Amino acid sequence: MADLSLKPDVIVVGGGIIGLSAAWQLHRDGIDVVVLDPAPGTGASHAAAGMLAPIHEAYWGETHILGLNLAASQAWPAFADALGVDVVDYRRNGMLMAAYDADDKALLDNLGDLHEQEGLPVERLRSRECRSREPLLAPGVRGGVYSPLDHQVNPRRVVAELLSRVPTIPVSATQVARNQVATDDGRVMACQQVVVAAGAWTGRLLGVPIRPIKGQILRLNGPEGLLRLPVRGVVRGSSVYAVPRSDGEIVVGATQEEQGFDTRVTAGGVYELLRDVLALLPGLSEIDLEETWAGLRPGAPDNAPIIGTGDDGIVYATGHYRNGILTAPITATAVAALVQGRQPPVDLSPFSPGRFGAEPIGDPPNTEHLSGVTA
């Protein structure tokens, strides 16, 4: 934990995986940095399943997002090596997407056409081939798609490791400017550059249309190796996934609900997840249900993240929606480059905060007691 009296080079507002990864990259580059968050690591990153799935997250009309996600996937091996592959449970055994009935298979076939158009390395599988890859699948599955490029990691372990490597202060930012942050205890911190990675709460700080998208998630626990592969299923038109950990945990998720800042776990949400995952993987019915949780994904109107320097001089790293875990390494490298005046590793123009006409909300922080600080 850091001290509020510090005057770091960079203040990162937000202690999810995006903010922590950016802070760690800046720290590795020799930049004095601190993260502000009232409860770092307890938001969407804590709820996430950890699918690193650029191919299974590919959708028609989102080629720019696919490009970013593919670059992020390529950045993950080095990122995991630096943190410790075993420490974060990073695994590269691919991912299977399965269709429950004929209508679901038609949806998968449509995505398969996109995969082929984009030249993505996938295998289209028949029902028997799906069950050969993952024997726990229900006998009636109609077919699927296997992607060797889609991997997985344990986000809670990633966040815990990052928290051990970067200084944090447990306060909330109430107002931000390019080089100052006001906190909820009435103080103002000065720095050379502010980075906002506040996830679903970004819209409360800055004039960008980021909204919270609720996701309920379950954690089951069974014998190690019960589920061989991460499986994402389309079940009666709905999406559900099951992601196994090395210790026998299986993460099942996730709902997508437009409920504002509501993080209640509901009976209906748990029922829908169990109904769909057990239709796809009936063998999971006999293992323990250990945890239910809900988190808030940060979503922009066009589903793309916001990464770049705004007209207000603030560096934005937010709005990653379903792909915050996947895009953390590439976003961190991009943020570090922006802060240091270098060329980012990817083209950020499709993700610019300016596409929404971003402006600060309210007045800049009160700086009357910060005499001598240069703006």
pLDDT tens digits along 247-297: 999 999 999 999 999 999 999 999 999 999 999 999 999 999 999 999 999
Tell me the CA distances in angstroms from 194 to 8, 22, 118, 143, 265, one per residue in order.
10, 12, 37, 48, 34
pLDDT more than 70, % of the chain: 93
Q: What is d(CA 58, CA 119) in angstroms, rounded to the nearest whole number?
A: 12
**What local confidence, expressed as pLDDT, does residue 3 receive?**
52
Question: pLDDT digits over 122-181, tens only?
Answer: 999 999 999 999 999 999 999 999 999 999 999 999 999 999 999 999 999 999 999 999
Residue with tokens 């090596």: 81
8 Å CB contact between 118 and 58: yes
**What local confidence, expressed as pLDDT, does residue 357 receive?**
60
Instruction: Give the strand pairing for 168-169 and 33-36.
Output: parallel
pLDDT tops 80 at residue 358: no
Contacts of 371 by beta carbon, 8 Å cutoff, 6+ apart: none
* Long-range residue pairs from 342-345, CB within 8 A, at least 24 positions apart, any chain: 345/71, 345/75
Tell me what the pLDDT averaged over the chain comes to.
92
Q: If you average pLDDT over residues 306-327, what whole number do you get?
A: 97
**What local confidence, expressed as pLDDT, does residue 372 receive?**
25
**What local confidence, expressed as pLDDT, does residue 268 receive?**
97
Contacts of 25 by beta carbon, 8 Å cutoff, 6+ apart: 332, 333, 335, 336
**What local confidence, expressed as pLDDT, does residue 364 receive?**
40
Q: If you average pLDDT over residues 219-238, what whole number do you get?
A: 96
pTM attached to this predicted model: 0.93
Split at pLDDT 50, 70, 90, the class of 207 is confident
**What local confidence, expressed as pLDDT, does residue 5 receive?**
55
**What local confidence, expressed as pLDDT, does residue 7 receive?**
86
Angle between helices 324-339 and 17-28 (to 10 degrees): 40
8 Å CB contact between 301 and 217: no
Question: pLDDT digits over 15-39, tens only?
Answer: 999 999 999 999 999 999 999 999 9
**What local confidence, expressed as pLDDT, does residue 8 receive?**
96
Q: Alpha-carbon torsion 182, 205, 295, 99, what sign?
A: negative
Q: Alpha-carbon torsion 233, 56, 156, 181, what sign?
A: negative
Ramachandran bin of 347, using left for φ above 0, alpha for ψ from -120 to 50, beta for the remaining angles = beta
Q: Strands across the sheet with 168-169, in order?
A: 168-169, 33-36, 10-13, 193-196, 315-318, 306-309
pLDDT more than 90, % of the chain: 92
pLDDT tops 50 at residue 315: yes
Q: Is 140 exposed, middle or buried (0-12, 13-18, 19+ CB in 10 A)?
A: exposed
Q: What is d(CA 216, CA 194) in angstroms, rounded to the nearest whole number?
A: 31
pLDDT tops 70 at residue 362: no
Contacts of 140 by beta carbon, 8 Å cutoff, 6+ apart: 100, 101, 127
The CA-based dihedral angle spanning residues 104, 107, 113, 117, taken in that order and rounded to the nearest 10 degrees: -130
**What local confidence, expressed as pLDDT, does residue 2 receive?**
54
